[in-house]
Amino acid sequence: MDKVTRLASENGLVLFSKSSCCLCYAVKILFQEIGVTPTVHELDQDPEGREMERALMRLGCSAPVPAVFIGGKLVGSTNEVMSLHLSGGLIPLLRPYHSMC
Amino acid sequence: MDFPSTQFVPSRIMGTYQPIHQIGMWGENFKSIGNPSISASVIVEVDNKLENESETASHEMPAPSCKHDQEASKPFDKIQRRLAQNREAARKSRLRKKAYVQQLESSRLKLMQLEKELEQAREQGLYIGGGLEAGHLGFSGAVSPGIAVFEMEYKHWMQVQNRQLGELRTALNAQISDIELRIVVENGMSHYFELFRMKSTVAKADVFYVMSGTWKTSAERFFSWIGGFRPSELLKVLVAQLDPLTDQQIFEVCNLKQSCQQAEDALSQGMEKLQETVSATLAAGQLGQGTYFPLVAMAMEKLEALVCFVNQADHLRQETLQQMSHILTTRQEARGLLALGEYIQRLQDLSTLWATHPREPA
């Protein structure tokens, strides 16, 4: 729990992912298209990956990855990020933490 | 035309009986034939093309002569009336025949289309048996109850959709209040959301079925993107029908278009990555040595992600519709829904036309 919370608050935009996960890859592409760079933690490459997965599930994520945190707060998975972006809410949320062109 | 008042002579008495394939009806093709001294002579012909009425008419024909004897005062009016009724009946009969033939024609087209689709389904190994009987399970194709249920529900969904489009059309032309229009619009939106729910259920049973879009017509499949329309395509069709938009609305629609496009691109690239991953997994090791089951099993695990992508694509479609409903007025939304529904109908008509269009043999 702590590691996830700690990592989540270290940067403005944090993405928990797995290198083999294609949906996570889609979320990375989305951020790229918007012009922001998330801090990515690949759980399959982290020795404590399993524990972090469980922690993320406990936080309420239906799937452990992809999990997006903005300003230390959990935004959600692909569904939530897409909805937020289409409603126009994603970019304003990111603005304090990222200089965007 | 001047009619003699009471005199009427049946054609056979006159001896100038015309062959029955000739001319038209009394009043339309009045001919006084032969002896000019018989001012009252008329030839009454019955239009032989009359279907239901020919018998009645021929029964009618001798009657005037009887009536002439019995009611000397106004046989002429009765004749007129009866012949007018004949004409009307004949006209209605012709219309019925025309409608019936048109129905036969469209049924024929539909039958051809259905046969073609059945053939395609058989080729793809998606043979849906005569029902859900387990006895139809065969090696050439599998019966999936989930698919059978979905196809039944989709047929019903289409019927409701067409009915709702009619309601939208009526509502937009009538002077109904915004509140009433809101209800019609909400029904339309919920109906689409219902489809997404149905697709989500069947995707769990067989995601390839959803990806192939078998339940849709061929032209719809042509535009398929991860199991349905591109959200940006939906937007394009909607927005084209919506002038005039306020400046604020134009701004919001623009933003929505852009976010939609970005999300679409992200999912597309994710799908490409998925293809690469599955392909790489299957191609690992040495090819040409026979199949290696663990690799196939691994590839299948990776393929599970396809269900997520299909769900995400539908989620994107739903979100696009939702956002549009926030931006638009009720009336604009009604027009947009109607436009979208008619666009899909045109695609379906295109598919039918394509299927029945004569082509050079291969």
The domains of chain A are located at: 1-95
Å between B347 CA and nearest CA of chain A: 27
- Tell me the CB-side half-sphere exposure of residue B178, using CA atoms within 13 A: 5
Q: Does A25 touch chain B (CB under 8 A)?
A: yes
| Domain around B100 | 83-127
Residue B327 buriedness (CB in 10 A; 0-12 / 13-18 / 19+): buried
Instruction: Mark whether B111 and B161 lie in a shared domain.
Output: no
Which of A22, A85, A86 lies nearest to residue B270, judging by beta carbons? A22
Which of B265, B273, B316 lies nearest to residue A22, judging by beta carbons? B273
Residue at B158 is within a domain: yes
Residue at B34 is within a domain: no
- pLDDT for B271 equals 96
- pLDDT for B126 equals 58
Going by pLDDT thresholds of 50, 70 and 90, the confidence category of residue B109 is confident
Residue at B140 is within a domain: no
- Longest Cα pair distance anywhere in chain B, in angstroms? 109
Work out the percent of chain B whose per-residue pLDDT is above 70: 74
Q: Which residues are within 8 A (CB) of B166 and not within 5 positions of it... i.e. 6 or more apart?
A: none
DSSP character at residue B125: T
Average pLDDT, integer, range A4-11: 92
Tokens of B343: 């666009």
Q: Which of A81, A82, A91, A94 to mutate to test the interface with B (most CBs of B within 10 A)?
A: A82
Choice among A85-94, B91-100, B225-234, B349-358 with the minimum mean pLDDT? B91-100
Instruction: Mark whether B241 and B334 lie in a shared domain.
Output: yes
* CATH 3.40.30.10 matches A1-95: yes
Going by pLDDT thresholds of 50, 70 and 90, the confidence category of residue B135 is very low
Q: Which residues are within 8 A (CB) of B87 and not within 5 positions of it... i.e. 6 or more apart?
A: B25, B27, B28
Residue at B9 is within a domain: no
- pLDDT for A1 equals 53
Q: Give the type of residue at B225.
A: W
Going by pLDDT thresholds of 50, 70 and 90, the confidence category of residue B62 is very low
Instruction: Mark whether B198 and B249 lie in a shared domain.
Output: yes
Instruction: Mark whether B172 and B105 lie in a shared domain.
Output: no
Instruction: Mark whether B123 and B162 lie in a shared domain.
Output: no
Q: Does A7 touch chain B (CB under 8 A)?
A: no
Average pLDDT, integer, range B194-201: 95
In this prediction, the answer to ipTM > 0.90 reads yes
- A26:B320 CB<8 A: no
- B319:A83 CB<8 A: yes
Last-in-domain residue among B127, B160, B182:
B127
Q: Does A65 touch chain B (CB under 8 A)?
A: no
Residue at B94 is within a domain: yes
Residue at B229 is within a domain: yes
Which of B259, B302, B305 lies nearest to residue A88, judging by beta carbons? B259
pLDDT digits (tens, 9 = 90+) for A41-69: 999 999 999 999 999 999 988 889 999 99
Q: Which residues are within 8 A (CB) of B300 and not within 5 positions of it... i.e. 6 or more apart?
A: none
Count of CB pairs separated by less than 8 Å, A with B: 69
Instruction: Mark whether B167 and B297 lie in a shared domain.
Output: yes
Instruction: Mark whether B120 and B161 lie in a shared domain.
Output: no
What does pLDDT average to over chain A? 91
Residue at B138 is within a domain: no
Contacts of B315 in chain A (CB under 8 A): 79, 82-83
Residue at B141 is within a domain: no
Last-in-domain residue among B95, B127, B159:
B127
Q: Per the structure, how many domains does chain B have?
A: 2
